[in-house]
A and B are shown apart, each in its own frame.
Chain A
């Protein structure tokens, strides 16, 4: 699986016009001769056939080496390690935030079906799902940077500051813009799931026993309603990752997403490959975790 993914990405990256050698010298002022670029290509091995380069990369990978960046000459793995923290922080908080808020709102909306609150939430979630993520980001930047500068709109820390509160302040906007779509989605699905569960026979069985309505909702309905949500979380981890690429660019968040953008614009193929391999692993691992989580919450799967 991983092999196929890396091969496809390698080939696609190869189709991009321009290469690292050109990006390095820039299109600039004409002082760089075609020969110099050609010489640089030869040095970097860019003139070899695509497949030869792919297998060279693969061979290195098998030795545990992701290679060095073709632009900065830093080891790719080191670059990734440096950026992993901020991205995990952003993705993690966003995921947790959207699960908590989205599921809570969805459940509330299902329990109060056809109430005014339900209608308002449904409309909001529709809007939330329809807005492109970079658009939300840009709107936030516009309002909070230009109109009412309450929250900082770029970077992870203010100059010289390093406190936790400062970090939270910087995290707020990117995290919120990354979460809005997720919140809307979690809300929609948990509302639907909860409604379905609330109409099941066993909910009436539970009520017939004379237990409190709160217990019916929490012990019986919620547990069952959350099972399909697990799939949604699994699907959302990769989606969140791709969302982070845009949001990190908009808010200058120093994470993997920004690194990804740099890699693409500079045609830094080895860095790009490293990042793709890394995100492919994230997707596969999150799928595996989803399956494991299923077995944990649903006894029917555990015993089969």
Chain B
């Protein structure tokens, strides 16, 4: 990880405006991604972690989805939000590639793995099919798929789940992107395969120096992989810090609650039941005007119910959005 910022997200808001009402999924998030950094994005289902990341490449249905005015995503000095779909296409797969959550559904079942791997490469580099297949073979080999050459001609249904996720990773690496968005790539896999995929991702980071945005609700996985962690809640980043700092010294009540809900491996621990955060996340049908966590927070005071805290720095590089910290 270097100090060079390769992606800078400023005040990104995404909303879905449908006839029967709007959903404000992402509400003004800002963060920087450094070269070679692995950024963990954690939060519960529906907190906007996937939407906010897919919005970087406009990989959401638009309409009804809309990136609200005032949002900016800077990559190499260009604002991705302002680009036309044709210009943005040059970034998709080439600069920023995505590894999807479910390898069972993310592949087209009626096209060979090889053909799916090379189409982005051929599009971006304008090379021949043969050269592209050679590169695909090399990457499949690298991601640990045996007999890569023959497997390129296979269909997704002939691959096991773990192998498909490896192929998905190989596919994302085809164009040597500088950023990989990994959208819970291990959630759909069993634990053994999960750890193999995690090892593979660590190797890839070492070999390619790629920056990774790792979206997950699995705090354990993020702890083992990420350099920095953004905790998201109700479409906002509520806490952001270095991974060790965040796990050992959580400041936001929500982060504390999340970490407190993890089972302990300590046998002497007399804690009988896992703690949980009471209540439910807010329904995001209105713009956020007060602290979205106030209703579930034990430390909430009057000020929390009348205004929304913004993310601000406490100790070095540790950002929190809370009035009481």
Residue pair B124, A303 in contact (C-beta under 8 Å):
no
On chain A, the residues within 8 Å of B93 by CB distance are 208-211
Q: Does A213 contact B (CB under 8 A)?
A: yes
The 8 A CB mask of A244-284 against B (1 = contact, 0 = none) is 00000000000000000000000000000000000000000
On chain B, the residues within 8 Å of A201 by CB distance are 100, 102, 105-106
On chain A, the residues within 8 Å of B157 by CB distance are 299-300, 303
Q: Does B127 contact A (CB under 8 A)?
A: no
Stretch at the interface among B40-48, B108-116, B278-286: B108-116
What number of residue pairs across chains A and B have CB atoms under 8 A from each other?
84
How extensive is the interface on chain A, given as a class? Answer: 20 to 34
Q: Smallest CB-CB separation from A223: which chain B residue? A: B110
A204-235 contacts to B (CB < 8 Å)? 204-213, 215, 219-220, 223-224, 227
Residue pair B102, A215 in contact (C-beta under 8 Å):
no
On chain A, the residues within 8 Å of B74 by CB distance are none
Stretch at the interface among B83-91, B134-142, B199-207: B83-91
On chain B, the residues within 8 Å of A205 by CB distance are 98, 100, 106-108, 116
On chain B, the residues within 8 Å of A299 by CB distance are 109-110, 155, 157
Q: Does A38 contact B (CB under 8 A)?
A: no
CB of A224, distance to nearest CB on chain B (Å) = 6
The secondary structure that dominates the A interface is helix
On chain B, the residues within 8 Å of A209 by CB distance are 92-93, 97, 119-120, 123, 171
The 8 A CB mask of A134-178 against B (1 = contact, 0 = none) is 000000000000000000000000000000000000000000000
Q: Does B158 contact A (CB under 8 A)?
A: yes
Residue pair B119, A219 in contact (C-beta under 8 Å):
yes
Q: Smallest CB-CB separation from A215: which chain B residue? A: B119
Q: Smallest CB-CB separation from A198: which chain B residue? A: B61
Residue pair A210, B120 in contact (C-beta under 8 Å):
yes
Residue pair A206, B108 in contact (C-beta under 8 Å):
yes
Q: Does B94 contact A (CB under 8 A)?
A: yes
Complex Cα spacing A297 to B109, Å: 11
Complex Cα spacing A5 to B17, Å: 57
Q: Does B57 contact A (CB under 8 A)?
A: yes
Q: Does A298 contact B (CB under 8 A)?
A: yes
Knowing A215-B119, A300-B155, A303-B157 are in contact, say whether A208-B109 is a contact too (CB < 8 A): no
Residue pair B100, A204 in contact (C-beta under 8 Å):
yes
Knowing A201-B102, A205-B100, A299-B157 are in contact, say whether A212-B89 is a contact too (CB < 8 A): yes
Complex Cα spacing A299 to B159, Å: 13
Q: Does A55 contact B (CB under 8 A)?
A: no
Q: Does A130 contact B (CB under 8 A)?
A: no
On chain A, the residues within 8 Å of B108 by CB distance are 202, 205-206, 220, 223-224
Q: Smallest CB-CB separation from A224: which chain B residue? A: B110
Q: Smallest CB-CB separation from B58: which chain A residue? A: A207
Residue pair A224, B97 in contact (C-beta under 8 Å):
no
Q: Smallest CB-CB separation from B107: which chain A residue? A: A202
Residue pair A208, B119 in contact (C-beta under 8 Å):
no
Complex Cα spacing A272 to B92, Å: 64
On chain A, the residues within 8 Å of B158 by CB distance are 303
Residue pair B102, A207 in contact (C-beta under 8 Å):
no
Complex Cα spacing A127 to B171, Å: 46
Q: Does A31 contact B (CB under 8 A)?
A: no
Residue pair B97, A208 in contact (C-beta under 8 Å):
yes
On chain A, the residues within 8 Å of B303 by CB distance are none
Residue pair B111, A208 in contact (C-beta under 8 Å):
no
On chain A, the residues within 8 Å of B171 by CB distance are 209
Within 8 Å by CB of B98, from A208, A213, A223, A303, lies: A208
Residue pair A298, B110 in contact (C-beta under 8 Å):
yes
On chain A, the residues within 8 Å of B110 by CB distance are 223-224, 227, 297-300
On chain B, the residues within 8 Å of A223 by CB distance are 108, 110-111
Q: Smallest CB-CB separation from B171: which chain A residue? A: A209
CB of A275, distance to nearest CB on chain B (Å) = 39
26 pairs, A vs B, C-beta closer than 8 Å: A201-B100, A201-B105, A202-B105, A204-B100, A205-B106, A208-B97, A208-B100, A209-B93, A209-B97, A209-B171, A210-B91, A210-B120, A210-B124, A210-B175, A211-B93, A211-B119, A211-B120, A212-B89, A212-B123, A220-B111, A224-B108, A224-B110, A299-B155, A300-B155, A300-B157, A303-B158
Q: Which 9 A-B pairs have the closest CB atoms?
A: A209-B120, A210-B92, A210-B93, A209-B93, A201-B105, A299-B155, A208-B98, A202-B108, A201-B106
